[in-house]
Amino acid sequence: MAGARATMDFFAAQAAARRRTGALVGAFALAWLGTVALVWAALALLLQSGALGVAPRGLALAPGFLAAVAAGVTLVTAGGSAFQAVRLAREGPHAIAAMVGGVPVDRASLDPGERRLVNVVEEMAIASGLPVPAIYVLPGEGGINAFAAGFTPDRAVVAVTRGALEALDRDELQGVVAHEFSHLLNADAKLNLRLVALIGGITALALVGRTLARGHSHAERGLGVPRRLRGGGGRGRLAVVLAGLAIWTAGAIGAFFGRVIRAAVSRQREFLADAAAVQFTRNPDGLAGALAKIAERGSALVSAGAPEVSHFFFANGLASSWLATHPPIHDRIRRTAPGV
């Protein structure tokens, strides 16, 4: 890595990553509209076919029906999103660190690796203009990885695996920590919170549909289904089940595409953080060297809590994931140090 040159145009790289992120976040609006359209189309088809009982002619095509479907989908998804947002915000960054076995680092620690980590974190706080966050080490993790979490810069944590402390030299550790400070500076944790909440809202719609679809046994006992539907015997129960299946399917499809979009957003934010790390350190070799060691030694975590917070990490924290939240390591190296 010694022969690499700081040829990255980090300002241009950051601007490009932000543009792509904006476009992807906008795609969530399309995912919501698509979910509304799917629910409307499924219910309209059932109405027109008579499966949901007798309905006024043309009801499925009336603007009021579409508005009612949109309002219902919005109510369910907004409620689900609000619940997810409150839950994630309440957990806080320290709880996220504890979830993966993080142990707080004393800034007066005499351990050489921890002492170096404290110094690097303080340097990157100055370089980025942010407060010094709480520092954690993941002692049971041999993979090379790190993460930052915090919805505001003054309530944040930076955590590094023991494997990173042992395998990385000072420049490489500095590049990794600078990358994490970029996530704090650019409010990526807050963005991720919003995206997770949005997906949670669409998932809530699928849960409502599943509840309705499975509710026919409750209908027989007079639970969960209006009396007017129970009076129709099997026809009323079938109508509820079919409507539930339609909503369940639409919600599941919407949530799937929401996760695909969230993974794409996460990948762009990783490119953005790499570019900002080079800006903070003015040393692309350090970051590229850390990425090269990850390509050689791995970054997977063994903690049972890793899947819950995999999107926070510097590199892929899972052994495998087809909805990857991180770009391929070699693409990151190529963009960070094009001369290598």
Q: Tokens 């309002």, residue?
A: 71
Closest CA to 95 of 121, 134, 153, 125: 134
- Contact call for residues 115 and 160 (beta carbons, < 8 A): no
Pairing mode of beta strands 134-138, 103-104: antiparallel
d(Cα 237, Cα 213) in Å, to the nearest integer?
9
Active site amino acids: 180
Handedness of CA 318, 319, 323, 324 (dihedral sign): positive
* Alpha-carbon 263 to chain mean position: 7
Total-model pTM: 0.70
The pLDDT value given to residue 221:
46
10 Å Cβ neighbour count for 56?
9
The pLDDT value given to residue 135:
97
d(Cα 188, Cα 180) in Å, to the nearest integer?
10
* Half-sphere CA count of 135, side-chain side, radius 13 A: 22
Closest CA to 271 of 287, 250, 254, 252: 287
- Spatial CB neighbours of 140, under 8 Å, sequence gap ≥ 6: 101, 162, 302, 303
* Mean pLDDT per 10-residue interval, the chain, length 340 residues: 47 62 70 81 71 58 77 82 72 84 93 96 95 96 93 89 97 97 85 74 83 61 45 60 82 82 81 90 94 94 82 78 77 82
End-to-end CA distance of the chain: 7
d(Cα 92, Cα 249) in Å, to the nearest integer?
33
Q: Tokens 């919407």, residue?
A: 254
The pLDDT value given to residue 228:
47
